[in-house]
C-alpha cells in the first residue's frame, strides 16, 4: 500500500506547490485555534491567580480579538486551497490513467467487465482525494498542534507537558496503525463496488438479449447478490472506522484527564498551569479527532491506487522504440512474412502474410469473418506487433518508428467508427485539432454530407448525440469518413466501411469512397465487392495468407 501511495504522490509532483500551500494554510488554521484557547486559558489562569477574573479576561480579550477573526478566515482559506489542490491533482491523475489505458486497451487489460473499468476510472480515482484531504492535511495540522501544545506546556510545566503530550502523540500514530488492517477491508469494498457496477451495467449494455431471454430475474438476482457483498464489505470497513474513532476519543480524553489529574494532585500552586493545559488539550482534541478517519482514508486511497496501477501497469501491446527512427519520405507499404497470434495459446491469425501497396495503389482484401481482416488493421496501426516478419512503411520497418509517426501516415475507417456526444466540429477535429472550419467543410463535402450539415440550424455546432444517435447509419458513416479525410494520412484503411447499411446506402457510400479517397493509397478490407470499388489489386485472406483473387 505504501509503495502505491508514494507513486500517487509522484504523479502529483507538478501540483506540489498547491499541495504544500494547502497543508501550510491548514497548519495556520489549526495553530490559530491553539493560540485562541491558549490565550483564553491564560486569561482564566491569571484571573484565578489574582482573584480578578474579569480584569484578566478583559486583558486577554485584546489578544483574542485578532485570533477570533483569523481562525475562521484561515479555515475558509484552508477549504479553498486544499480542495483546489485536490481537484488539480485528481485531474492530472485521470489524464495520466486515461493515457495509460489508451496505450493498453488494444491488447486487452483482462478487464472483461465494463463496470469494473468504469469503477477504476471514476471511483478509484476519486478515492485518492482521501490521501490528501482526509489523511495528509489533517495529519500535518495535528502534528503542528501537538508540537505547539508540547512546547507551550513545556515552558510552563514540563511534567504537565509530558502528561498531556503522551496520549496526544499516541493519537498521531493511529493512522499508520489503523491503515494496514483497514486496507484489506477497503480493497474488499473496492472489489465489491466493481462487482456491483458490472452487475448493473453489463445487463444494460445487452438489454435486448436480456429481455428476449426473459432473463431480468436472473440479472436482478445477480445485482442483489453483488449489492449484499458490497454491504457486508462496507460494514466491516465501518466497524474498523468506529473502533478507530473510539480510540481517538479515548486518547483525547486521556490528555484532558491527565491535565485535570495533574491539577488535583499538585495543589493550588499549579491551578494556573492546569487551566492552560486543559484548554490546550481541548484545542488538540479538535485537530486529533480527524486522525482515526485518516487511517481509513489512507486504506481507501491505497486500495484505489492499487487497482489503478494494476490496470495501468499492464504491458503495452506494442512498446515505443527507445530511439525512434526518422519518419520516411515515402509511404509505400510492404508486408513481409508476417506471423501473428493474439495470444501464445491461440491459433495464429496470419502464418505467412505478404503483400505490397505502392503509393497511390488501391488494394482490396477479401475474406470471411475470422480471416484476420480487422487484425491486419491493428498491425498496420501498431496496435499489435507481428510475432515474425516485418511491415515496411516508405522502406522503414514500422517497429523502428514512433506510434505517432505511423498513425500520422495511416488513417482507418472501421466498421464501428464512433461518433462521440459532442458537436460535429469536435468530432471531426479528433483527426486534426487545429483544422479551420474551411477544412471541415471540404472534408464534409468530399464525404458527401456537406449539404446535409449546412441545412442543420446549428451547422458544425450540431451535437451528434451519444454514439451518433442524432444521425442515421449512413449519415454517421459519412461523418466518420469526413473525419478520416481530414487527417493528412497518405494511406487509408477502410475496414468493412459500409457494414450494416442497407444495399442502396451501401452502394452509394462505396461510390463516395472511390472519389473521396482519390490521391491516397487505400486498403479496402471487406468480405465482398459490389463492383463500384475499382481496386488496382484484389487479394483473398485464406489460411493466414494473402492469395491473389481469381477471376
CATH of the domain at 389: 3.40.50.300
Chain segment 257-304, per-residue pLDDT in tens = 888 887 777 655 576 777 777 888 877 877 777 777 777 787 788 878
Count other Cβ atoms within 10 Å, centred on residue 417.
17
> What is the rounded distance in angstroms from the CA atom of residue 464 to the CA atom of residue 425?
10
Residue-level pLDDT at 112? 46
Grid coordinates belonging to 139: 495529519
Residue 431 in any domain: the answer is yes
Count other Cβ atoms within 10 Å, centred on residue 312.
18
**pLDDT higher for 549 or 409?**
409
Residue 454 in any domain: the answer is yes
Q: Return the half-sphere exposure (C-beta side, CA atoms, 13 A cut-off) of residue 382.
A: 23
Residues 372 and 296 in one domain: no
Residues 533 and 431 in one domain: yes
Chain segment 182-209, per-residue pLDDT in tens = 777 777 887 787 778 778 877 877 777 7
Residue-level pLDDT at 531? 66
**pLDDT higher for 16 or 267?**
16
Task: Provide DSSP, 164-181.
Answer: HHHHHHHHHTHHHHHHHH
Residues 281 and 387 in one domain: no
Q: What are phi and psi of 462, to 5 degrees?
A: -65, 130
Residue 317 in any domain: the answer is no
Chain segment 128-158, per-residue pLDDT in tens = 888 888 888 888 888 888 888 888 888 888 8
Q: Is there a contact between 117 and 109 (Cβ–Cβ < 8 Å)?
A: yes
pLDDT band of residue 410 (cuts 50, 70, 90) is: confident
Which DSSP state fits 134? I
Residue-level pLDDT at 56? 47
Chain segment 154-179, per-residue pLDDT in tens = 888 888 888 888 888 888 887 777 77
**pLDDT higher for 303 or 442?**
442
> What is the rounded distance in angstroms from the CA atom of residue 483 to the CA atom of residue 87?
33
Say if pTM beats, i.e. exceeds, 0.85.
no
Residues 348 and 262 in one domain: no
Residues 102 and 233 in one domain: yes
Residues 345 and 266 in one domain: no
- The boundaries of the domain holding residue 217 are 2-312
> What is the rounded distance in angstroms from the CA atom of residue 131 to the CA atom of residue 128?
5
Q: Is there a contact between 32 and 283 (Cβ–Cβ < 8 Å)?
A: no
Q: Which of the given ranges, 3-12, 33-42, 67-76, has the highest pLDDT on average?
A: 3-12
Residues 302 and 394 in one domain: no
The sheet carrying 396-397 orders its strands as: 350-357, 333-340, 388-393, 396-397
Residues 290 and 337 in one domain: no
Chain segment 313-347, per-residue pLDDT in tens = 877 777 788 888 888 888 888 988 889 888 778 88
Residues 238 and 376 in one domain: no
Chain segment 387-399, per-residue pLDDT in tens = 889 999 988 988 8
Residue 161 in any domain: the answer is yes
Residue 291 in any domain: the answer is yes
Task: Provide DSSP, 205-223.
Answer: HTHHHHHHTT-HHHHHHHH
> What is the rounded distance in angstroms from the CA atom of residue 159 to the CA atom of residue 541?
88
**In this structure, is the dihedral angle defined by the CA atoms of residues 311, 315, 321 and 322, taken in order, positive or negative?**
positive
Residues 518 and 454 in one domain: yes
Residues 165 and 254 in one domain: yes
Residue-level pLDDT at 114? 54
**pLDDT higher for 423 or 186?**
423
Residue 320 in any domain: the answer is no
Contacts of 245 (CB under 8 A, 6+ apart): 292, 293
CA-to-CA dists, residue 128 to 138, 139, 411, 504, angstroms: 15, 16, 37, 53
> Which long-range contacts link 168-173 to residues 24+ away (Cβ below 8 Å)?
168/251, 168/252, 168/255, 168/281, 168/284, 168/288, 170/251, 171/142, 171/248, 171/251, 171/252, 171/288, 171/291, 172/139, 172/142, 172/143, 172/146, 172/288, 172/291
Residue 319 in any domain: the answer is no
Phi-psi category of residue 349: left, alpha or beta, with phi > 0 → left and psi -120 to 50 → alpha: alpha
Burial of residue 415 (CB within 10 Å: 0-12, 13-18, 19+) is middle
Count other Cβ atoms within 10 Å, centred on residue 169.
15
> What DSSP element (H or E) covers 183?
helix 174-205
CATH value at residue 65 = 1.20.1560.10
Residue 275 in any domain: the answer is yes
Q: Give the CA angle between residues 145, 150, 154 to the nearest 5°.
A: 150
Instruction: Give the number of domains in the chain.
Output: 2
Output helix, strand, coil percentages for the chain, rounded to the nearest 5.
65, 10, 25
Chain segment 83-116, per-residue pLDDT in tens = 999 999 988 888 888 888 777 766 554 444 555 6
Among 283, 312, 341, identify where a domain stops: 312
> What is the rounded distance in angstroms from the CA atom of residue 288 to the CA atom of residue 482?
60
Grid coordinates belonging to 200: 448493473
> What is the rounded distance in angstroms from the CA atom of residue 320 to the CA atom of residue 324?
8
Q: Give the mean pLDDT of 40-54.
A: 59
Q: Is there a contact between 270 and 93 (Cβ–Cβ < 8 Å)?
A: no
> How much of the chain exceeds pLDDT 70, in percent?
88
Residues 293 and 360 in one domain: no
Whether residue 484 is predicted with pLDDT greater than 80 in this model: the reply is yes
Phi-psi category of residue 519: left, alpha or beta, with phi > 0 → left and psi -120 to 50 → alpha: left
Residue-level pLDDT at 21? 92
> What is the rounded distance in angstroms from the CA atom of residue 281 to the CA atom of residue 277?
6
Amino acid at each position: 500500500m505504501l509503495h502505491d501511495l508514494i507513486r500517487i504522490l509522484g504523479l502529483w509532483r507538478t501540483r506540489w506547490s498547491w499541495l504544500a500551500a494547502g497543508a501550510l494554510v491548514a497548519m495556520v488554521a489549526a495553530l490559530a485555534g491553539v493560540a485562541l484557547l491558549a490565550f483564553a486559558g491564560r486569561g482564566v489562569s491569571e484571573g484565578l491567580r489574582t482573584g480578578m477574573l474579569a480584569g484578566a479576561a478583559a486583558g486577554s480579550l485584546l489578544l483574542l480579538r485578532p485570533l477570533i477573526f483569523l481562525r475562521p478566515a484561515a479555515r475558509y482559506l484552508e477549504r479553498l486551497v486544499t480542495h483546489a489542490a485536490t481537484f488539480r491533482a485528481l485531474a492530472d491523475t485521470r489524464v495520466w490513467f486515461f493515457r495509460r489505458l489508451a496505450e493498453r486497451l488494444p491488447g486487452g487489460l483482462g478487464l472483461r467487465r465494463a463496470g469494473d473499468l468504469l469503477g477504476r476510472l471514476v471511483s478509484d480515482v476519486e478515492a485518492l482525494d482521501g490521501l490528501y484531504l482526509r489523511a495528509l492535511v489533517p495529519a500535518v495540522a495535528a502534528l503542528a498542534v501537538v508540537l505547539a501544545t508540547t512546547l507551550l506546556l513545556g515552558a510552563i510545566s514540563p511534567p504537565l507537558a509530558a502528561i498531556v503530550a503522551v496520549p496526544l502523540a499516541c493519537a498521531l500514530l493511529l493512522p499508520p496503525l489503523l491503515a494496514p488492517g483497514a486496507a484489506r477491508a477497503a480493497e474488499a469494498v473496492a472489489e465489491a463496488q466493481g462487482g456491483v457496477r458490472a452487475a448493473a451495467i453489463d445487463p444494460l449494455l445487452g438489454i435486448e438479449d436480456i429481455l428476449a431471454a426473459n432473463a431480468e430475474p436472473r440479472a436482478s438476482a445477480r445485482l442483489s447478490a453483488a449489492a449484499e457483498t458490497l454491504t457486508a464489505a462496507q460494514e466491516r470497513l465501518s466497524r474498523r472506522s468506529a473502533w478507530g474513532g473510539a480510540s481517538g476519543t479515548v486518547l483525547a480524553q486521556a490528555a484532558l484527564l491527565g491535565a485535570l489529574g495533574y491539577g488535583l494532585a499538585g495543589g493550588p500552586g499549579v491551578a494556573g498551569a492546569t487551566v492552560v493545559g486543559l484548554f490546550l488539550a481541548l484545542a488538540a482534541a479538535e485537530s486529533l479527532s480527524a486522525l482515526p478517519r485518516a487511517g481509513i482514508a489512507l486504506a481507501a486511497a491505497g486500495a484505489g491506487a492499487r487497482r489503478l496501477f494494476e490496470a495501468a501497469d499492464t504491458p503495452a501491446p506494442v512498446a515505443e522504440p527507445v530511439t525512434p527512427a526518422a519518419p520516411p519520405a515515402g509511404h509505400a507499404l510492404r508486408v513481409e512474412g508476417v506471423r501473428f497470434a493474439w495470444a501464445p495459446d491461440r491459433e495464429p491469425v496470419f502464418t505467412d502474410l505478404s503483400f505490397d501497396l505502392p503509393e497511390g495503389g488501391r488494394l482490396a482484401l477479401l475474406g470471411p469473418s475470422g480471416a484476420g481482416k480487422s487484425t491486419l488493421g491493428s498491425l498496420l496501426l501498431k496496435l499489435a506487433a507481428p510475432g515474425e516478419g516485418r511491415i515496411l512503411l516508405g522502406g522503414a520497418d514500422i517497429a523502428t518508428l514512433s506510434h505517432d509517426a505511423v498513425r500520422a501516415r495511416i488513417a482507418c475507417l472501421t466498421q464501428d467508427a464512433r461518433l462521440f456526444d459532442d458537436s460535429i466540429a469536435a468530432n471531426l477535429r479528433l483527426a486534426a485539432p487545429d483544422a479551420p472550419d474551411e477544412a471541415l467543410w471540404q472534408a464534409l463535402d468530399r464525404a458527401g454530407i456537406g449539404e446535409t450539415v449546412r441545412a442543420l440550424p446549428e451547422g458544425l455546432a450540431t451535437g451528434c448525440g451519444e454514439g451518433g444517435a442524432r444521425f442515421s447509419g449512413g449519415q454517421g458513416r459519412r461523418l466518420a469518413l469526413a473525419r478520416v479525410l481530414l487527417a493528412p494520412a497518405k494511406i487509408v484503411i477502410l475496414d468493412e466501411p459500409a457494414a450494416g447499411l442497407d444495399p442502396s446506402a451501401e452502394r452509394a457510400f462505396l461510390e463516395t469512397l472511390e472519389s473521396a479517397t482519390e490521391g491516397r493509397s487505400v486498403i479496402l478490407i471487406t468480405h465482398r465487392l459490389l463492383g463500384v470499388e475499382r481496386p488496382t489489386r484484389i487479394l483473398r485472406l485464406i489460411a493466414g495468407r494473402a492469395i491473389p483473387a481469381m477471376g
